[in-house]
């Protein structure tokens, strides 16, 4: 959740930075799981397992992958994931996010907002210019200056801000427009055996 750690995104991304942010996210997930989750294990975030469907998304909530296409045309701010620790998939899970990777359709996306349970934005990442055409994986990635988290007892949402050029697949007949697929670089801490068993 919100801290006094530096907000925003790094202007320059290189492999060592990705590794450092991933290590910081794993450590943060472990720390936040302590005392909240019995015998926690940290793994990659899986949207279909860890997140509920947002109020304004094409994503079904069960489909694999990272599609975050809003269900309405045009510029706006759209909730694409709900973090529900009460009765939803985030119950007894800690989700920590440290960056983004462009998969498809990022020409439409201006920013990503992380929303706390009180409706306040506690992190806003500008991702304008991030696209999937980079020659290497790191060219398609952007990192947060500090990892952000949704704790085991915290609710919230993830929103994307799109521009005027966006057309929703659900409002189009004929040729289907390019969906938006944005991978969240991050980890989830949960009870050992809930999804992943012991590796020893």
**Structure confidence by residue, pLDDT tens digits, 35-94:** 999 999 999 999 999 999 999 999 999 999 999 999 999 999 999 999 999 989 999 999
pLDDT at 2: 47
Domains contained in the chain, CATH given:
15-191 (2.60.120.1170)
* pLDDT tens digits for range 119-175: 999 999 999 999 999 889 999 999 999 999 999 999 999 999 999 999 998 776 656
Asked whether the beta carbons of 68 and 180 are under 8 A apart, the reply is yes
Q: What percentage of the chain carries pLDDT values higher than 70?
A: 92
Q: Would the pTM count as exceeding 0.75?
A: yes
Integer-rounded Cα Rg, in Å, for the chain is: 16
- How far apart, in whole angstroms, are the C-alpha atoms of residue 55 and residue 113? 14
Query: What stretch of H or E contains 21?
Result: helix 15-33
H or E element, residue 86: none
Query: Which H or E run includes 62?
Result: none
């Amino acid at each position: 959740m919100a801290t006094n750690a530096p907000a925003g995104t790094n202007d320059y991304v290189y492999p060592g930075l990705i590794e450092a942010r991933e290590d910081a996210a794993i450590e943060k997930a472990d720390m936040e799981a302590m005392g909240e989750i019995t015998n926690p294990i940290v793994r990659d975030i899986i949207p279909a397992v860890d997140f509920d469907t947002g109020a304004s998304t094409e994503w079904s909530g069960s489909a694999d992958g990272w599609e975050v296409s809003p269900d309405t045309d045009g510029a706006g701010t759209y909730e694409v994931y709900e973090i529900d620790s009460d009765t939803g998939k985030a119950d007894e899970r800690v989700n920590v996010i440290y960056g983004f990777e462009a998969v498809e359709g990022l020409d439409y996306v201006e920013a990503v907002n992380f929303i706390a349970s009180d409706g306040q934005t506690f992190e806003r990442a500008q991702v304008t210019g991030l696209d999937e055409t980079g020659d290497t994986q790191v060219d398609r990635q952007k990192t947060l200056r500090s990892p952000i988290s949704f704790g085991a007892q915290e609710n919230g949402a993830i929103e994307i801000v799109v521009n005027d050029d966006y057309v929703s697949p659900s409002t189009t007949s004929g040729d289907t427009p390019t969906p938006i697929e944005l991978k969240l670089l991050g980890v989830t801490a949960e009870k050992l055996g809930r999804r992943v068993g012991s590796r020893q």
